[in-house]
Amino acid sequence: MSCGIGHVQEAQVKAEELRSQINYYDYLYYAKDAPEVSDAEYDELMRRLRAIEEHYPELIAPDSPTQRVPAVKIEAFATVEHREPMLSLANAFNFHELEAWYKRAAKMAGTEKFRFVCEPKIDGLAVALVYENGRFVQGATRGDGLHGENISENLRTIRSIPMQLQGKDYPERFEVRGEVYMPKSAFEAMNNERAERGEPLFMNPRNAAAGSVRQKDVKLTASRKLDIWIYQLGWADGDSPPTHSATLEWLNGLGLRVNPEIKRFEKLDDVQAFYKTWEERRHGLEYEIDGMVVKIDDKSVWDELGYVGREPRWAIAYKFAPIQATTKLIRIAINVGRTGSLNPYAILEPVRVGGVIVKQATLHNEDDIRRKDIREGDTVIVQRAGDVIPQVVGPVVSKRTGNPRKYKLPKKCPVCKSEAVRPEGEAMSYCTNISCPAQMFRWITHFVYAMDIDGLGEQWVWNLLDRGLIEDPADVYFLTMEQLVALDRMGEKLATKILANIEASKQMNLNRLLSALGIRHVGGEIALVLANHFQTLEAIANASEEEIAEVEGIGPKIAASVYAYFHDRQKMAIIDKLKKAGVNMEQRQPKRIEGPLSGQTFVFTGTLGVMPRGKAEALVTRLGADATGSVTRKVTYVVAGADPGSKLAKAGSYGIPVLDEDGFLAMMREHGELE
Ligand code: IVH
């Protein structure tokens, strides 16, 4: 017989063995985050178990790992009564409020000596899971705190909820509580798919999780990639550890997924410091948190402190400044990017979000606006996440008045009035006039920045364009002393410095020139890939689209854009001018220098105030370090200037030390590189 299935008794033993193996590997994977088998080995165990169960359907146990998704739909969710009410938490919004909470608790308990457990406050949906003799028997929503809905079938589909606990160290019946959530990446992927099918989008991961878990068609829940963190023991028929931290450790040992970021502290100041680090680090997490939950560790204190209404006195939610707010979208305006892209953005009635006043927010592109159905005059939700540019999440349709028109991107460039076109397969429309002043201005300022021409700020670029002294980036190389000093408020000293920097920029490596050229989809990292592969600008310009696409790391979209750029007559005329000016067009391999920073890797992000990024990179290279563009675990330091963007969050999530500019300059001084 195939798959070695023999007698029913033998099969039963084998099935039990497979189930317990699978359960154990689930435990290692989900509860311990320390997988021991490959996906393929795991899948093989599942396949063998399925084969037995297909052959002997009478052996199928309801909590078998193969039975997570039932075939039938749920008619209605039954109501369950919570044996202990599911409470909520009081909030603190600043240190002062946290301290007031602590002082009240200390006074009531007659001691100031507490240990605190600090936990990420997961932004999802609270559930209660009941285990009987180690088996999952019921899962319910919080509902009104006293009664919830029985969503056991839906919760079974969440792979990180064990159907069978590990070991034997559990009471006969007990309940744990936790938060079901949807990881950010799953949320984005799901919304993208929904958009493609023209379905309405979920506003945030929490709504998505709540909507997914209460599906009567359990297959839908199963398709939604939900996960859970367990943060509390609800009740237990039997003993449990005397402290909350020990309880969480115990639950984790039973196979329940407990957040590894949870920490214990003895001083409130340390709680505060921990909270502060999370204000930034939260953005690098795979799930959304809206604060920290601070709990007193000693459970005997819990009984002493009791409750106020529905809120325990022994715990508090220490919330982050809200990152979302609603306001009125006055108008949708367009800004023309350096590649000619028409970038729609929202002009808003000023609103405070996450401690900052926001007046403008990005709207990404036309499709995004139409998909979310954002219209001028709408009340909209605005979001700020860390250092990311504020964005409009969506309209509050219930507050829409009148019947505003659906948004349409203009067909003409709002600056030069030339035709705008949207290339096939692209999300953005582009102004077709390469001499469009808005486009040129952005391109030249970008060029100047990328080529490290220090001193030639936006104001000067604008002035030079205005006077017709430059028309494109290459003209910068033909500026003279007389022309510069003739500008209002430009002294000889500054002019000399600018001219020296222009001269020095001719020696920039090819990758820097490539990113300065403003080729659509070619940023710093792609430019480096192209430069390293082709070595000369000429080789890139002569390459076929296929040859470009064959380069590792270059997709067809980038290849098409690079190819088109070097087959545009106007662009090639500018490149010719650059050549005539003596700008380097080759990739020179920097000699690796041995120095005090050998073996270290630096990433620079954001705008440095004192030193241009290129110079900073050159400095660390001179000391033996590498400077790269992307944050990986190998990076030693991230140096963050103003508006650092997502790299900072990534550094936070990897625990890479971040230096600000002062810290970086101090380090360079230590190595004798600066006075
Ligand atoms: S403890 C009595 N811990 O926040 C203690 N709750 O605002 C009750 N939440 O209903 C909850 N993360 O849905 C606790 N680490 C955490 C939490 C957490 C998220 C949610 C939970 C609760 C709500 C209260």
Reported confidence tier of residue 1, pLDDT bands at 50, 70, 90: very low
Ligand 1 touching residue 293 (CB < 6 A): yes
Amino acid at residue number 521 = H
Helices of type H across 324-468: 366-372, 437-450, 458-466
Give me ligand 1 centre to Cα 125, in Å: 9
CA distance 369 to 81: 44
Q: How confident is the model at residue 387 (pLDDT cuts 50, 70, 90)?
A: low
* Gap between the Cα atoms of 469 and 492, Å rounded: 18
pLDDT tens-digit map of 201-221: 787 888 899 989 999 999 999
315 CA → ligand 1 middle, Å: 9
SS3 state of residue 260: coil
What digits encode the pLDDT tens for the residues 61-90? Answer: 888 999 988 878 888 899 999 999 998 999
495's CB contacts (< 8 A; 6+ apart) are 481, 484, 485
Q: Which amino acid is at 209?
A: A
At 374 the three-state DSSP class reads coil
- Rounded CA-CA distance 252/260 in Å is 10
pLDDT value at residue 543: 95
Q: What's the DSSP call for residue 387?
A: T
Strands 135-141 and 125-132: antiparallel
For ligand 1, the distance from its centroid to the CA atom of residue 459, given in whole angstroms, is 52
Residue 288, ligand 1, Cβ within 6 A: no
pLDDT of 613: 74
The one-letter amino acid at 646? S
Q: How far is CA 367 from CA 315, 379, 469, 641, in A?
A: 44, 19, 39, 32
Q: Please check the confidence at residue 27 and state whether its pLDDT lies above 50.
A: yes
Measured at the alpha carbon of residue 657, what is the angle toward residues 651 and 658, in degrees to the nearest 5? Answer: 75
Give the per-residue pLDDT at 2: 47
**Residue 364 — pLDDT band, cuts 50, 70, 90?**
confident
- Give the residue whose CA is nearest to atom 12 of ligand 1: 121
329: buried, middle or exposed (CB in 10 Å: 19+, 13-18, 0-12)? buried
Q: Tokens in use for 443?
A: 């391109």
Please choose from 229, 231, 251, 259 the residue to mutate so as to test ligand 1's pocket, defined by most ligand atoms within 8 A of CB.
231
Cβ(89) – ligand 1 distance below 6 Å: yes
Which whole number is the average pLDDT over 376-397? 85
Range name among 82-91, 115-124, 555-564, 615-624 with the lowest pLDDT average: 615-624
Give the pLDDT mean for 125-144.
95
Nearest CA to ligand 1 atom 21: 126
By percentage, how much of the chain surpasses pLDDT 70? Answer: 98
- Measured by CA distance, the residue closest to atom 18 of ligand 1 is 121
Give the chain's mean pLDDT: 90
Q: Provide mean pLDDT across the span 606-630.
A: 81
479: how many CB neighbours lie within 10 A of its CB? 17
Mutate to test the pocket of ligand 1, among 125, 142, 232 (most ligand atoms within 8 A of CB): 232
Average pLDDT over residues 110-122: 95
Tens-place pLDDT, residues 156-201: 999 999 999 999 999 999 999 999 999 999 998 888 888 778 777 7
| Residue 122 CB–ligand 1 contact under 6 Å | yes
Rounded to 5 degrees, φ, ψ at 198 are: 75, 20
Is residue 317 lining ligand 1, measured as CB closer than 6 Å? Answer: yes
DSSP bridge partners of 380: 327, 395
For ligand 1, whether the C-beta of 319 sits within 6 Å is no
Residue among 179, 271, 274 to mutate when testing ligand 1 (max atoms within 8 A of CB): 179
| pLDDT of 107 | 94
Q: Is the CB of 155 under 6 A from ligand 1?
A: no
pLDDT of residue 361: 93
**Ligand 1 midpoint to CA 414 (Å):** 49
The answer to whether residues 318 and 279 touch, using CB atoms and an 8 Å cutoff, is no
Asked whether 436 lines ligand 1 (CB < 6 A), one says no
Residue 129 token pair: 């899971």
Residue 388 C-alpha to ligand 1 middle, in angstroms? Answer: 27
Tell me the residue ranges of DSSP E strands in 53-185.
79-81, 91-92, 116-122, 125-132, 135-141, 147-149, 173-181
248, 74, 69: which is closest to 159 by C-alpha? 69
Compute the distance from residue 310 Cα to the ligand 1 centre, in Å. Answer: 12
Q: Which residue has the higher pLDDT, 675 or 642?
A: 642
Cβ partners under 8 Å of residue 8, min gap 6: 56, 58, 59
Q: What is the pLDDT of residues 481-537, one digit of tens each?
A: 999 998 888 889 999 999 999 999 999 999 999 999 999 989 887 898 899 899 999
pLDDT at 388: 65
Task: Determine the average pLDDT of the residues in 213-240.
Answer: 93
Low-confidence winner among 224-233, 262-271, 654-663 (lowest mean pLDDT): 654-663
CA 145 to centroid of ligand 1, rounded, Å: 12
276 labelled catalytic: no
pLDDT at 3 over 60: no
Q: Indicate which atom in ligand 1 lies nearest the CA of residue 121.
A: 12
Which residues, 6 or more positions from 549, have their beta carbon under 8 angstroms from its beta carbon? 555, 556, 559
Give the model's pLDDT for residue 5.
Answer: 53
Tens of pLDDT, residues 569-601: 989 999 999 999 999 999 987 666 788 888 899
Determine the number of helices (DSSP H) and then strands (DSSP E) in the chain: 24, 24
Q: Classify the phi-psi angles of 626: left when phi > 0, otherwise alpha if psi is within -120 to 50, otherwise beta.
A: beta
Token pair 């367990």 in the structure block, residue: 230
Identify which of 545, 342, 362 has the alpha carbon closest to the alpha carbon of residue 439. Answer: 342
Pocket flag, ligand 1, residue 178 (CB < 6 Å): no
Q: Which has more pLDDT, 552 or 239?
A: 239
Task: Say what the pTM is.
Answer: 0.60
CA dist 45 and 39 (Å) reads: 10
Asked if residue 232 has its Cβ within 6 Å of ligand 1, the reply is yes
For 411-464, what is each residue's pLDDT tens digit? 999 989 999 999 888 889 999 887 888 889 989 999 999 998 988 988 899 899
The residues facing 232 across adjacent strands are: 177
d(CA 488, CA 207): 56
DSSP letters spanning 447-470: HHHHTT-TT--HHHHHHHHHTTS-
φ, ψ at 575 (rounded to 5°): -65, -40
- Tell me how far CA of residue 420 lies from CA of 429, 433, 668, in angstroms: 6, 8, 47
Query: Do the Cβ atoms of 620 and 541 come closer than 8 Å?
Result: no
Is 434 or 342 the better-scoring residue by pLDDT?
342
Give the mean pLDDT of 245-255: 97
Of 14, 73, 113, 121, the active-site residue reads: 121
Question: How far does residue 59's CA lie from ligand 1's centre (Å)?
Answer: 39
pLDDT at 590: 65
Q: How far apart are CA 313 and CA 307, in angstroms?
A: 5
Average pLDDT over residues 4-32: 89
Burial of 172 (0-12, 13-18, 19+ CB in 10 A): exposed
152 lines ligand 1 (CB under 6 A): no
Planar angle of CA 307, 308, 310, nearest 5 degrees: 80
Which token pair is 421? Answer: 């076109």
Residue 646 has pLDDT above 80, yes or no: no
Task: For ligand 1, say whether the CB of 119 is within 6 Å of any of its atoms.
Answer: yes
User: Percent of the chain, pLDDT > 90?
Assistant: 61
- Output the DSSP codes for 33-85: S---S-HHHHHHHHHHHHHHHHH-GGG--TTSGGGSS-SSPPS-PPEEE-SS-
